[in-house]
Amino acid sequence: MAEVKMLTEHYADDSYCGIEGYQAKKGYEMLKKALKMPPAEIVTMVKDSGLRGRGGAGFPTGMKWSFLPNNGEERYLLCNADEGEPCTFKDRMMMERAPHQLIEGMIISAFAVQSKKSYIYIRGEYQFAVKVLEQAIQEAYKAGYLGQNILGSGFSHDMDIYVGAGAYICGEETGMISSLEGLKGQPKLKPPFPAVKGYLRKPTIVNNVETLASVIYILRDGVEAYRKFGTQKSPGTKLFSVSGDVMKPGNYEVPLGYKLKDLIEIECGGLKLGRQLKAVIPGGTSAPVLTAEEANRATLDYECLADMKSMLGSGSIVVIDDSRCMVDMLGVITHFYHHESCGQCTPCREGTGWLNKVVSAIKAGNGTQKDIDTLCKVADNMKGRTICALSDAAALPVLSFVPKFRSEFEYYIREGKSQVRGISYAQMHH
């Protein structure tokens, strides 16, 4: 099965962006349906659908929702639109092409978890998406889909946007909560999880843009029909952002379980003429890199990639051909995590610094054979010991790039230049 356009069916239609165009395609019909259902029934449907979070961790959405305590406290819903994971660009497209889809998905979700207030936390660089969403939220208020007593249902909900100011760590759910509270965007220790104590210490559900939009289609098609797409443990469709060395980079919606090789060769038009596949980063730069051999076997679902000791993550796929130097690529990645560590935890703060320093030294032609062990040791010490998962995310690329492409690292250290490019990156790019 190739591309399945469930979420993205009408994205080519410019009018879909406005409320009239959206309604013309049956937009807000599912909200009307939802408001007549018992909220708990929607939660059960989402649980039974097997929908897993599309933001990176892949946590079952319905299960997260059912962690909310029943103590009468006010609840918040936060949409994670920070999209900071390098090479992910699906949420931006969703918000720009279909703002009402996100808004409808959010109101339904808010009703299901009985939340009166939601925020869309969007990264500050996405200025155009911010404007589109602001307009769409106003339209939704005017149409009576937001505000007091929505469509006479007795349910009231307010929605607002919060614009971030540049920090990858604000994509981590507790970092986002700190940021929204007007603090530095530093993650907080879990537990307590946000569902129990989140924004303003109140029960809070944090979900990704794509997750919230998917809820509409579970309601529309029913659990069984929704589960026809995808695999047993990874139901549904998912958007994949493909970039790098393919003919047609872009966002593609395919059923989970789709072959990575097919996505590259069919949807993306294959590699550039005369090039061979060397590696694929399958789930954002935090996901361990796959060799070409692994990539050719991989299917795009949570299980297969976990079996390969990588992950589906945010669904961003970077295709790397044989013209690329893996030492250089890893350098870009270690630089990123060093730049983005919030500095609260010693293993992360020091570790990201070390990794970047060592890879930079190798790139500059100043590496020693010992560096390879140093990199792996430092990375190992960064895993599982910190407040948030950024530290692991920084360690995993190193622990996959180095062993899988070890000879390239050894060559670079020995010769002081890239095996692939025949040059040193020392003079360039610093």
Partner 1 sequence: MNFQLSSEGQEFVKKELKRYETKESAIIPCLFRVQKENAGWVSSESVGYLSQLMDIPEARINEVFQFYTMFNQVPVGKYHVQVCCNVACCMAGTREIIEEFCKEHNVAEGDVTSDKRFTFTRVECLGACDKAPMMQINDDYYEDLTMDSAKQILRGLK
Ligand X SMILES: Cc1cc2nc3c(=O)[nH]c(=O)nc-3n(C[C@H](O)[C@H](O)[C@H](O)COP(=O)(O)O)c2cc1C
- Site for ligand FES (CB under 6 A): how many residues? 2
Single out the residue of 69, 124, 269, 403 in contact with partner 1 (rule: CB under 8 A): 124
Please tell me whether residue 349 binds ligand SF4 under the rule CB under 6 A: yes
**Minimum gap (Å) between residue 250 Cβ and ligand FES:** 13
User: What is the distance between the alpha carbons of residues 257 and 269, in angstroms, rounded to a whole number?
Assistant: 19
Binding segment (CB under 8 A) for partner 1, from list 29-37, 107-115, 135-143, 248-256:
248-256
Among 51, 342, 358, 396, binds ligand SF4 (CB under 6 A): 342
The residue type of 186 is Q
Alpha-helical segments (H) within 10-119: 19-24, 29-35, 39-49, 61-66, 90-97, 99-113
What secondary structure does DSSP assign to 261-298, as a single string? HHIIIIIT--SSTT--EEEEE-SSTTSPPEEHHHHHH-
Residue ranges binding ligand X (CB under 6 A): 53-57, 59, 80, 82-85, 169, 171-173, 206-208, 211, 388-390, 393
Beta bridge partners, 78, equal 119, 206
Provide the minimum distance between the beta carbon of 86 and ligand FES in the complex, in angstroms, as a whole number. 6
**87 binding partner (options ligand FES, ligand SF4, ligand X, none; Cβ < 5 to 8 Å by kind):** ligand FES
Alpha-carbon span 133 to 267, nearest angstrom: 29
HSE-CB of 226 using CA atoms within 13 angstroms: 24
**Residue 356 interacts with ligand SF4 (CB under 6 A): yes or no:** no
Q: Which two tokens stand for residue 310?
A: 């990588």
Closest separation in Å from C-beta 389 to partner 1: 18
- CA 277/CA 274 separation, integer angstroms: 10
Q: Which residues in the 377-416 window bind ligand SF4 by CB under 6 A?
A: 386-388, 390-391
CB 394 within 8 A of CB 337: yes
Rounded (5°) CA angle 213-218-222: 165
- Mask: binding to ligand SF4, 4-23, rule CB under 6 A, as x and -? --------------------
> Three-state DSSP class for 337?
helix
Pattern 302-331, partner 1, x by CB under 8 A = --------------x-x-x---x---xx--
DSSP-assigned letters across all residues of 112-135: HHT-SEEEEEE-TT-HHHHHHHHH
73 binds partner 1 (CB under 8 A): no
Using a 10 angstrom Cβ sphere, with 0-12 exposed, 13-18 middle and 19 or more buried, the burial of residue 321 is middle
Per CB under 6 A, the list member of 63, 87, 196, 376 interacting with ligand FES is 87
Task: Kindly tell me which of 173 and 294 has the beta carbon lying closer to ligand X.
Answer: 173
Q: Figure out which of the listed residues 8, 179, 341, 400 binds ligand SF4, where binding follows CB under 6 A.
A: 341
C-beta of 87 vs 389, nearer to ligand FES: 87
The phi, psi pair for 373, rounded to 5°, reads -65, -40
Q: Is 209 in the site for partner 1 (CB under 8 A)?
A: no
Q: Return the one option of ligand FES, ligand X, partner 1, none that residue 237 interacts with (CB less than 5 to 8 A, by type).
A: none
Question: Contact residues for partner 1 (CB under 8 A)?
Answer: 83-89, 91-92, 117, 123-128, 160, 162-168, 179-185, 199-200, 241-245, 249-251, 281, 285, 316, 318, 320, 324, 328-329, 332-333, 336, 339-340, 428-429
